[in-house]
Amino acid sequence: MNRLAFSTLPCEGWKLEELAAFARECGFGGIEAREGEAWGISAFMTKAERQSALRLFGEQGLRVTNIGSGVCFTGSDGDEAELVRFRDAVLLARDLNAAGVRIFLGYFNTRLDDPAPSIIYEPIVARVRAACDFASAHGVQTWIETHNEFATGRSLNRLLDDVGKPECAVIYDIIHPFEEGEPPEETIAQLGKWCVHVHIKDGLPFEDPLERSWKYTKLGEGRVPVAEIVRLLERAGYAGYYSLEWETKWRKELQTADADPRIVFPQYIDFMRSMLHPGEGGIKR
């Protein structure tokens, strides 16, 4: 299996035919479909449009790994609307043969001097359970991304134990636990079998000490030990995709001419292949 994938987040406005052809040309095996009309894959697609997209990706040898939804549960009253969005994303995942739907938990707060509301833990656990029950009934998993208050393996290990649903899993976004000071070996040990998908990215701290998040960079130009993380994952038995999440839409530091996905995606393939045994999916040791 070709285990290299990418999120379509930076491909806003691309036609699906263009996207699929480019992915195949670069050498990808998977596509992480950002949900939304701007990305050509959305909950508003008709049955015929979904079948057409599935056929198109299949003809190019591509698999939709998951639906990258923006659903976020906080344990507040707003979760009801988020659960409706999640259900729509699950049906989309089912129709595109995607294994899971990505969700977030907590608050997107990037500064230490702008505190977020306190997390009410029990309602979040209840929401995740409800999400898992609906998704599993349609053959789809619920994938929580390491982010926000649940960025670390420690926090997610506890949550997943409390949720108690085998169809609940984790997207290990490698930068966020590292931003929180959790060593990769601890993150990977804590996530264990729950880690089913990996987001690859690199970065380094901002000069402003009040910035919680890091400044994103091209792979190999930051402080995230990407190669070591991949080695640790492989040694732990990880068999899923390594997906580039290139956040040009959200990150100003990536909104430059040389950060266009047409430039960066082929570089990602070369970067990852430099660590992988050709055709084997193993890691050079």
Radius of gyration of the chain (CA): 18
Residues in the chain: 285
The tens digit of pLDDT for each residue in 203-260 reads 999 988 888 889 999 999 999 999 999 999 999 999 999 999 998 888 888 899 889 9
- Sketch out the chain's domains with CATH numbers: 4-273 (3.20.20.150)
Check whether 284 has a pLDDT greater than 70. Answer: no
Helices and strands of the chain, counted as H and E runs: 9, 11
Burial of 208: CB neighbours in 10 Å, binned 0-12, 13-18, 19+: exposed
Report pLDDT for 78: 85
Task: Look at 34-43, 206-215, 259-268, 271-280 and tell me which has the smallest mean pLDDT.
Answer: 271-280
Confidence (pTM): 0.94
Check whether 184 has a pLDDT greater than 50. Answer: yes
Whether 138 and 90 have beta carbons less than 8 Å apart is answered as yes
The tens digit of pLDDT for each residue in 151-167 reads 999 999 999 999 999 99
- Structure confidence at residue 115 as a pLDDT band (50, 70, 90): confident
* Average pLDDT of the residues in 260-270: 95
Report pLDDT for 253: 84
